[in-house]
Amino acid sequence: MNRLYYPVFLASLALAGCGSDSDSSSPQDTEQPEVFNITPADQSNVSSAAITIEGNMTDNEAIRSVSVLYGGQTMAAAFDGDRFSADLTLTEGENRVEITATDTAGNAYTDIRTIVLDTQPPELTFVFPSSGHATQALTTTVRIDAADNQSVAAVSVVLGDQTVIAEAADGQYLARMVMVPGSNSYQVTATDMAGNSTTATHSAYLGKQVMGGNAHSGAIRPDGTYTWGRNNYGQTGLGFVSDPSKDLNIDEHPFAPLRMTVEPSFISLAFGQNTSAALADDGTVWTWGNGGDGQLGQGLTGSDTLNEDDSSIPLQVIGITDAVAVTRGYNQTLVLHQDGTVSAFGNNRYGQLGDGTTADRDIAVKPNVSNIVQIASGASFSLAVDRDGRVWSWGQNNSGQLGLGTEDTDAHPTPMEVSIDEPIEAVVAGKGHVLAIARSGAVYGWGLNYSSQIGLYDSDNEDPEWPREVTSPKKLPWFDDAVAVWANGNQSFAERQDGLVYPWGQNMLGTLGLEQDGDVTFPSSSVFGFDQVVDLGNGALHTIGMRQDGSVFSWGWSFQGSLGGGDGTIDRWTYRVPTLVMSSIQP
């Protein structure tokens, strides 16, 4: 080694040693900064493109800088004390944002998050009931389909002073709303995760604006109530009786609609056989037509004589001022009251009045049921649905129509619960069969099945799964999206979410509204040319239907004016497909 270099080298080592001793007295900063309380949060949905991303930061020494990497560009965030912020303009959809905080020692912490810009509001793709569609239950399930490009956060329904957050169930949103008789307007709002919302106004109608009886019919229009058809007991309520066979002064039934002139403001009709009833907008009930067995409810307190007088004009049922629904069987009348109780009067041979006796009544009696939201009547039996979705039945059971697992010829004068595994929305009854629609959209059937009004009956090769009498509720395999059901006689009808009505059962006189003849064993085709339905009024062998525009159609057996087609309608003739009775514009 060069002698001159060696001392220098030793000196250098000495100096290096001195420097090393000095650095060891100041520990190196190796801790990362901490960033927290960042908004918007990761996976947030926002509805505005212009956002400010901000948060808190801390470090054991000091923060030197905060940067934000977005869209391939890095920008410096503003920070003051322990807060930072940066303004961004997002693009539609997912946006990836990196936030990096660096301290004075060069330590860095990076937070990566996704923020979704969603400026598109949800869509309400299906709402039922809407466009004035009839609803049968005082407490109605509003069914809603809502879709969003990202995710629906909530659906709410507002009706009067009611606001209900709909529950998600099997891909739909369901909200239980208490309706009032007549027209109900309500708002549905769908909100997505970003806060975008869509609100639409819809309407439902609690009651029956169209109705068919044995061979008479009626429709409620904006300017009044119209009736037509067979009138041998004054069941049209027009103030006269007509029957060619009796050689009366008026020898023709009204073959075309005539406006009733002696009635209050009716909002719901209930026809059965040759008797009519109606609910007025003040909660009163009115009856007319055949009064046999006291079914007009015109008895006098304290009288031992049953009032079986007929009437060709509407008569008020005394003592009822709080009714919300009325229904008719063949010879009995049921009324639903606002407090959830039921009144009944008329024929009681099989206990169909539900008062524990079999005595006919011309003054209303009370079946032992409560919290009822919907009522229905068959030939000689009655049904009710309570607030919890339970079904109650009483009366005749010769075809298993009470749904109790048996059939017999005894009277059943006390309401009994029908066993069904899910809550029921409403029930409807034919001559001897019942359809029940569940809140889920499933349909159940029981009772007489001889014409396949429940389904798939074959008299030549009876299937034990589809017998002539179905004595317990049977879930029908054809529906998971039904929104309404109707029945009368030996016919059944169901409306699906496509807005079409699918019939099955007896079809010998065009009763199902199909071009084909013969009974239909299961619902496979819709009523011919009849869409945008809001309600059906099923008679014994004919049907009256109303569309969204208020026009009224009829089909089935034309008998003594039942179809309302006027002089051009052939009497005692089959009309298989719907025929216009009344246009949407009332003359």
Predicted pLDDT at 567: 87
In whole angstroms, give the CA distance from residue 325 to residue 270: 9
Edge-to-edge strands of the sheet including 167-169? 123-128, 139-147, 172-178, 167-169
Q: Which residues contact 72 (CB under 8 A, 6 or more apart)?
A: none
In whole angstroms, give the CA distance from residue 369 to residue 372: 7
Predicted pLDDT at 80: 86
Across 29-33, 120-124, 281-285, 296-300, least confident range: 29-33
pLDDT of 28 higher than 90: no
Name the nearest CA neighbour of 353 among 340, 338, 366, 362.
Answer: 366
- Token pair 């109900």 is found at 184
Does residue 308 or residue 587 have the better pLDDT?
A: 308
pLDDT of 282 higher than 60: yes
Q: Answer yes or no: are the C-beta atoms of 530 and 546 closer than 8 Å.
A: no
Percent of the chain clearing pLDDT 70 (strictly above): 94
Predicted pLDDT at 251: 61
In whole angstroms, give the CA distance from residue 400 to residue 177: 32
Confidence of residue 483 (pLDDT cuts 50, 70, 90): very high
Structure-token pair, residue 139: 């407490």
pLDDT tens digits, one per residue of 509-555: 999 999 988 999 999 999 999 999 999 999 999 999 999 999 999 99
Predicted pLDDT at 16: 41
pLDDT of 123 higher than 80: yes
Predicted pLDDT at 214: 95
Q: What is the mean pLDDT of residues 174-203?
A: 97
pLDDT tens digits, one per residue of 219-234: 999 999 999 999 999 9
Domains of the chain: 34-117 (2.60.40.10), 123-205 (2.60.40.10), 207-582 (2.130.10.30)
Q: What is the mean pLDDT of residues 131-149?
A: 97
Reported pTM: 0.90
Q: What is the mean pLDDT of the chain?
A: 93
CA 248 from chain centre, in angstroms, equals 47
pLDDT of 10 higher than 50: no
Q: Is 273 left (phi over 0), alpha (psi -120 to 50) or beta?
A: left
SS3 95: strand
Predicted pLDDT at 283: 98
pLDDT of 578 higher than 90: yes
Predicted pLDDT at 249: 52
Q: What is the mean pLDDT of residues 110-139?
A: 96
Name the nearest CA neighbour of 293 among 318, 341, 248, 328.
Answer: 328
Give the chain's length. 587
Confidence of residue 586 (pLDDT cuts 50, 70, 90): low
The amino acid that residue 470 corresponds to is: V
Q: What is the 3-state secondary structure (H, E, C) of 184-237?
A: EEEEEEEEECCCCEEEEEEEEEECCCEEECCCEEEEEECCEEEEEECECCCCCC
